[in-house]
């Protein structure tokens, strides 16, 4: 699909990019307000969890962890907007707020910003996969692997790895080095190493004041929950029924952005904690729109609510999707891929 009907006219992804362009203006007072309703409550919750655990109420600390994780996730989304230069009007404010939040989210801001920009520039392009996205193979590529390669990919795509071990590994371990950019100059190393030093200093001060075990009891559950939810959101934003992938000759960035990204229609509280990142099709169409203005786009252009719409319940079906079927232009499960493979082999045998 490359067009959509609205008010009797046909609009392409490029047309829609022009329609939403006026929403790109950031607002400094609104940005400061969003920070004020996110970081102080997170800090207060963190302290409350520490006090609860130090007074033998570890159960209360664990009970508050999901709420604190939601606020940490929201801070990551603020960092995400800073990386796009869309949270504050000025670059300096965006970059330094993004770097500061990166210490809390364990994410080297400048290095992440570069890889995420590549993700936006290549999303939905089958010939430019591999940086800033979830590894995805076509059915043909999967069956061209030997049994070890297939096993590795199946393990990688297994829910217990993708949404269990994977998120913690990504934020706690993988982000400590500039994987994929080892030989891409000094910036990735400077970004990751300076973030590591800042994380070590901040963690050291907290551990010195609170103790190692209280610190881990409080912060580790927050990080694990926030990382898991963050990976889930990123997954369903592109790995869903109805997404589009194209080879380079047929790939167009605005169309891939709009129809290759989902509109995750979450309940209002979850939209707030996720900073409207569920309006992902509009975000990919114009990444310069601040998250606090994305609802305005849907309000003024309600036809965009029907593009790539995904509800919370329907999103659970995305877990089984693992391979791109180029012949039919859709994501399929391993079981469906096996059935397609058998059908193809049978057809070739009959021709022979």
Q: pLDDT by residue (tens digit) across 43-53?
A: 999 999 999 99
pLDDT at position 350 is 57
Mean pLDDT of the chain: 92
Q: Closest by alpha carbon to 76, among 277, 218, 294?
A: 277
Q: Which carries the bigger pLDDT value, residue 5 or residue 161?
A: 161
Q: What residue ranges do the domains of the chain occupy?
A: 17-136+159-315
**With contact defined as beta carbons under 8 Å apart, do 281 and 257 qualify?**
yes
DSSP letters, 246-299, are: B-GGG--HHHHHHHSS-EEE--HHHHHHTTTTTBHHHHHH-TTS-GGGHHHHHH
| Cα separation, 243 vs 257, whole angstroms | 10
The angle formed by the CA atoms of residues 300, 306 and 311, to the nearest 5 degrees, is 115
Q: Is 245 left (phi over 0), alpha (psi -120 to 50) or beta?
A: beta
Three-state DSSP string of 133-147: CCCCEEHHHHHHCCH
For the chain, how many helices (H) and strands (E)?
A: 18, 7
Look at the pTM and tell me if it is higher than 0.85. Answer: yes
pLDDT at position 1 is 45
**With contact defined as beta carbons under 8 Å apart, do 80 and 239 qualify?**
no
pLDDT at position 345 is 65
| Cα separation, 290 vs 29, whole angstroms | 13
Q: Which carries the bigger pLDDT value, residue 9 or residue 182?
A: 182
Q: Is the pLDDT of residue 5 over 80?
A: no
Q: Averaged over 162-170, what is the pLDDT?
A: 94
Q: pLDDT by residue (tens digit) across 287-341?
A: 999 999 999 999 999 999 999 999 999 999 999 999 999 999 999 999 999 998 8
């Amino acid at each position: 699909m490359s067009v959509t009907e609205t008010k009797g006219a046909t609009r392409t992804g490029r047309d829609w990019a022009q329609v939403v362009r006026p929403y790109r203006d950031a607002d400094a007072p609104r940005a400061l307000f969003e920070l004020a309703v996110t970081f102080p409550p997170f800090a207060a919750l963190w302290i409350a969890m520490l006090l609860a655990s130090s007074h033998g109420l570890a159960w209360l600390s664990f009970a508050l962890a999901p709420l604190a994780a939601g606020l940490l996730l929201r801070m990551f989304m603020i960092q995400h907007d800073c990386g796009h230069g869309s949270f504050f009007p000025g670059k300096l404010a965006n970059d330094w707020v993004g770097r500061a939040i990166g210490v809390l989210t364990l994410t080297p801001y400048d290095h992440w910003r570069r890889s995420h920009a590549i993700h936006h520039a290549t999303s939905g392009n089958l010939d430019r996969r591999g940086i800033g996205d979830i590894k995805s193979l076509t059915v043909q590529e999967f069956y061209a692997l030997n049994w070890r390669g297939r096993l590795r990919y199946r393990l990688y795509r297994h829910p217990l790895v993708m949404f269990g071990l994977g998120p913690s590994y990504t934020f706690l371990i993988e982000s400590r080095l500039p994987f994929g950019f080892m030989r891409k100059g000094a910036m990735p190393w400077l970004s990751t190493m300076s973030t590591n030093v800042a994380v070590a200093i901040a963690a050291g001060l907290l551990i010195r004041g609170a103790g190692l075990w209280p610190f881990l009891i409080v912060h580790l559950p927050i990080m694990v929950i926030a990382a898991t939810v963050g990976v889930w959101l990123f997954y369903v934003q592109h790995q869903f029924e109805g997404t589009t992938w194209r080879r380079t000759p047929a790939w167009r960035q605005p169309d891939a952005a709009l129809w290759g990204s989902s509109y995750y229609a979450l309940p209002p509280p979850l939209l707030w904690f996720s900073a409207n990142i569920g309006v992902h099709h509009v975000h990919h169409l114009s990444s310069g729109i601040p998250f606090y203005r994305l609802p305005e786009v849907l309000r003024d252009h309600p036809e965009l609510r029907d593009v790539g719409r995904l509800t919370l319940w329907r999103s659970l079906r995305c877990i089984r999707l693992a391979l791109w079927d180029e012949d039919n232009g859709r994501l399929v499960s391993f079981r469906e891929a096996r059935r397609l493979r058998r059908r193809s082999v049978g057809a070739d045998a009959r021709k022979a």
